[in-house]
Amino acid sequence: MQLLTPTHWKDYELLDCGDFEKLERFGKFVTIRPEPQAVWKKIYSNADWEKQAHVKFIPKSSSSGEWKMLNKMPEQWTIDYSLQETGKSVKDTLTFRLGLTSFKHVGIFPEQACNWDVIYNYLKPLEKPKFLNLFAYTGGASIAARAAGADVTHVDSIKQVVNWANENMQKSNLDNIRWMIDDALKFAKKEQRRGNFYKGIILDPPAFGHGPNGEKWKLEDNILEMMDCVLQILDPQQHLLILNAYSLGFSALVPENLLRPFATKHKSNLSIGELYLEAKSGIKLPLGVWGRLEKM
């Protein structure tokens, strides 16, 4: 099992975490946000946290809240991430617009940068491979794939989030990503009926969610059907598939068990592990499990 964490991101840093919160630096600005997995005590003092932070998220319900300003900062700002091409000094820079939303998020999941590098390096040598990003959020994986020259389809059920991803693409000086506002499972089923195949697929499903027409998603209930469908649109001869699962109860053995039959049948390399962020304070914050199929 592999433990993966971003190691070269100058514009992002986890400073500390504990007592169900995390202290993070995004560019010049520091946030305090809830973190359900941080069940230990903080390393730094509360006073130190509030001295460093510009803003703190205050939950008002299970799904929303508001930001308390501690030091002056803008409502929106940008940060960069430099994709690393294995064995070369060549790199492409992605730019992300961040913002203070009512759902505690700022527009990016930093631990996913590990996957962006994997996607970029796998797709870069191929001739315009087709790439599919399901539950695609603000498009980190989509624009990493587009930077590698892929023909990218980005699927998310929320129009505002897709618009945000489009903005990130433009800020990264890229174009021609195909935007789809759709339920991820329904879209995958349609692609299966059309006989379409992808050389690259990533899916990062939430624990709970809703499609654009009220479709309900629950990870434990729907992940088997989703993977059965997704694996039928993955090119069996040459492929990269990444399955992320952020759930407090999931082991890395879950994606392994879901992906192993395909790996065995098509002689694909199967790897599993966890994503985490290592804080400046020394604490390691787990942020989900992953499984990966890879065949060149």
CA distance 97 to 79: 7
- From CA 54, how far away is CA 75, in angstroms rounded? 11
Task: Answer yes or no: are the C-beta atoms of 124 and 149 closer than 8 Å.
Answer: yes
If you search the block for the tokens 């998310």, which residue do you land on?
A: 156
Q: Domain 6-295 is classified in which CATH homologous superfamily? A: Vaccinia Virus protein VP39 (3.40.50.150)
Predicted TM-score (pTM) of the model is 0.94
Q: Which residues contact 154 (CB under 8 A, 6 or more apart)?
A: 133, 136, 139, 142, 162, 165, 177, 178, 179, 180
Token duo for residue 158: 């929320």
The whole-angstrom separation of Cα 175 and Cα 213 is: 28
Give, as one character, the DSSP assignment of residue 234. B
294: nearest Cα among 126, 127, 87, 177: 126
Backbone dihedral angles phi then psi of residue 174, each to the nearest 5 degrees: -125, 170
The sign of the torsion formed by the CA atoms of 164, 99, 201, 176 equals: positive
Q: Which tokens go with 142?
A: 């989509």
Question: What's the pLDDT at 48?
Answer: 97
- What pLDDT, on the 0 to 100 scale, is given for residue 88? 63
- The Cα–Cα gap between 130 and 26 comes to 31
Token code pair at residue 121: 């390096």
Q: Which two tokens stand for residue 174?
A: 């890229």
Per-residue model confidence as pLDDT tens for the chain (296 residues): 999 999 889 999 999 999 999 999 999 999 999 999 999 999 999 999 999 999 999 999 877 899 999 999 999 999 999 998 776 655 689 999 999 999 899 999 999 999 999 999 999 999 999 999 999 999 999 999 999 999 999 999 999 999 999 999 999 999 999 999 999 999 999 999 999 999 999 999 987 677 777 777 678 788 999 999 999 999 999 999 999 998 667 899 999 999 999 999 999 999 999 999 999 999 999 999 999 999 99
Mark residue 107 as left, alpha or beta (left: phi above 0; alpha: psi -120 to 50; beta: remaining).
left
Domain spans, the chain: 6-295
